[in-house]
Structure 1
Amino acid sequence: MGKNRRRAKKWAQAHLPILQSEFAVVGYGGVGGARRALSVDNVQAEGLAKASATASASASSGDELEVPASMLKEMSGTEFVTYATGRQNVAFMDVSIKLFRWYNPLYMLGDFAVSMFFDSWPVPVERVECTAYSFDGKEKDLVPAPSAVEKELIEQRTKGAANSSSYDGFVFAVVHKNCMRKLREDRYDISLTFTRDNPKLPQWATVMSESAEITDTMLTADLIKAVEDAGEDFEYLIITDQPLDKPTKLDETTPGKRINLSLRLPKSGSYTTTMPIFTYFLRLTDRVVSAAHFRAEVVRKLRNTRDEETRKLRRAHEVEKSEERKLQAEKVKKEERDRLLRGMSAEEQRKFLEKERERETKRGMKKATRKG
C-alpha cells in the first residue's frame, strides 16, 4: 500500500496549488487556499493558458510541496479521495484516485489476465475521476449562512439574470473513442446523445452531444488544445444534468447538474500534459453558466426529451397503482367470501361452492364464445 500512498501524494503535490487557487477549502480539514477563490472576471483576466502554465510548472518542478494530512482520505488500498468547496458557480467537487493493487501482485496479474479473455472484465487502469457539482442558482439553499446578514449577502450576489449561476440543462461530452461504447452502455445520460466526429479534435476523440448548437457552444479552442495535450491519458469530459442510471421513479428525474472528468494517471509520473485539461475542468462551470443559454427551439427539444421520460414513468406508476388497487379489491373480496363460508353449515357451504363453480363455468364458456 506504500506505493499507492506515494502515488496519491504525488498527485496531490502536483494539483494542490491550482486547487488552492480555485477553492477556498481543499480537503477535509478546512485547508485554506493560497489566495481567494476566483470569480469569472478573474478567470477571464488571467486566462486559461497562463494558469495552466503556472500549475504545470509546479507539477514538474520537483519541489516537495507539503501536502496536509487532511487533504487525502484513504478509502481502501486502491482508492484515495479528496474534496474542495468555496468557489463561485461550484457547490463542491469530489476527486477519486483509483490505483493498481501493487500490494497484491497476484491479484493484479489476475485482473490483467482475465481482462484479456473476457470483454466484460475491464482492463485495470490507474485513473483520477473528478466531479464538480453546479450551484445552478441554489446558493442560498446550499451555502451555510450563520447569520441573516450573510444570507442576505448571498441573495444579493445571486440576484438578477446577470449574476445567476443557473443554466439550461443538457448533456455534452468529449470522449476518447476507446471509452465511447462503455459510456453509452453504462450511463443513461450519455444514451440521450448523438455521436459526431469533429475535425477539430484528434482522430482518437469524438463528441457526444444532444444538439449541434450545444457542440458549437461548448467545444472551444481551449478545450480542444487541452484534450490534445492530455493525449492518450484523456478518457472523457462530460457536462450533464441527467442521472447515471435510467430513472425508475419520478423523483429520480430531478436534474442534478454536474461536470465529470476522467484521466488516466500518466505512466511517466509527470502531470504536465494533463494539467491543462484539469485546469479547464475546474473553470468549465464558469463557461457553462455564461454560455449555456440556448435558443428556444433547442431548449424545447431538450425539455421534450426529459418530459417524455417523465411521462413514461408516470404511466408506469399509474399502471402499478392500478394493479395494487386490483389486488387489494381481490383480497377484500376473498376475505368477505371466507367470512361468509365460516358462518355457514356444511350443507350451506356445499350449495355455495356449487353455485360458485357454476358461475365460473358459465364465465369460461362466455369467454370461449367471444374468442370463437
Structure 2
Amino acid sequence: MATTRDGIAIGRRGLLLGGAGAAAGLGLGLWPRRGLAAEPVSVAGIYTVPVEQQWVSRLHKAADAARAAGEITYAFSENTTNTDYPRVMREYAEQGVKLIMGEIFGVEQEAREVVLDYPETAFLMGSSFKPDPDYPNLAVFDNYIQDASYLSGIVAGAMTKTGNIGMVGGFPIPEVNRLMHAFMAGVREVKPDATFQVSFIGSWFDPPKAKETAFAMIENGADLLYAERFGVSDAAQEKGVLAIGNVIDTQPDYPETVVASAIWDFAPTLAAALKNVSAGSFKADDYGVYSFMKEGGCSLAPLGTFAGKVPQSAMDLIAQKEAAIKAGDFIVEINDKEPKSS
C-alpha cells in the first residue's frame, strides 16, 4: 500500500531513511555516531486498521508530530491484516528502519519470530503480554489510561438520570477491560446504584455494528453510553442521549452528545522509546507506564459545550482525584478481567 496525505510520502515503499540510508548499516547500540549530530531516527508504523481509528490515531499523531519536529522520518502501513503483519514487519526491517511500532495483539507469537531475526531493529509494540528478555529488542506498551477513564466515569455518574449506562467495546481484552472497569468505578463514586449494560462487538472497527448495539442498549433504558468504539456516539446523537468518549476527543463532532472523553497521548511513550534508541539502550521493557496520568500520557478532555453543565460537586471531586492521582496518593485499580453487565 502507498498513500500520500498532506504532501507526505507514506506507505511500505515510501520510507525516507534520511542521509542516504544512514541508519541502515548501524547496529541498535551504535546510534547516534559519536562526533556527529544526531540524525532523525527512522520510524515505521504498522497498523491493522485505518489511522483514523481511535487507538491507532494516537500512535500516528505522535509519530507525525515527531516527524514535523525533525526528530524522525516516518512511514506507515494501515489496514494490515494479521496474516500479513509479519511480512510487513520484515519488509520495514530489511529497509533498515531503526524503530518499528504498531500493535501485535492478534499476532503475538508470529511477531516475536520476526523480532528474533532482526536483533538490530527496535520494536515497540502494543501487546497484552509483558516484556520478555528472550526478545531483547521488543518493548511492549498498552494504553493504560485508566486514570482518565475513572475521571470520565465521575462525569458520567453525575450526568446520567436513570443510572442505566450502556458500554460498547471492541473485544474483551485487558486494554479494553481495564478502561471499562475504571470508568465504572468513577461512575459509582457519585452513583453507587448505577447499572451497566456491557457488550463487545468483536471488531476494532465496525461503526455500524457498534451503532446497532448501542441502539439496543438505549431501547433497554440506557440514557448515557460509554463509546469505546466508533459508532456509539452516532447512536447516542440520533436518540438524544449522552455519551462519554474514549482515547480521542470527539466532542467537536458531537457537541450536544459527548460530555467528556478520556484522552490518550502517545507522545511520552514514543519520546521515551526514541531516547533509548538514540542512546543505544533500547531493550525489552514495559512502556505502559508512560500512559499514566502522572507521566502525561492521559487526561480528561475539556468539557467544551458541557462546561458549566456538569454539577460543581462532580467537578470538585474530579479536581481532587486528579491531583491525588498525579501526586501518587490515589491509585486507580487496574482490573483486566472481562466486565459483565449488572
Q: TM-score, normalised by structure 1?
A: 0.23
Structure with larger Rg: 1
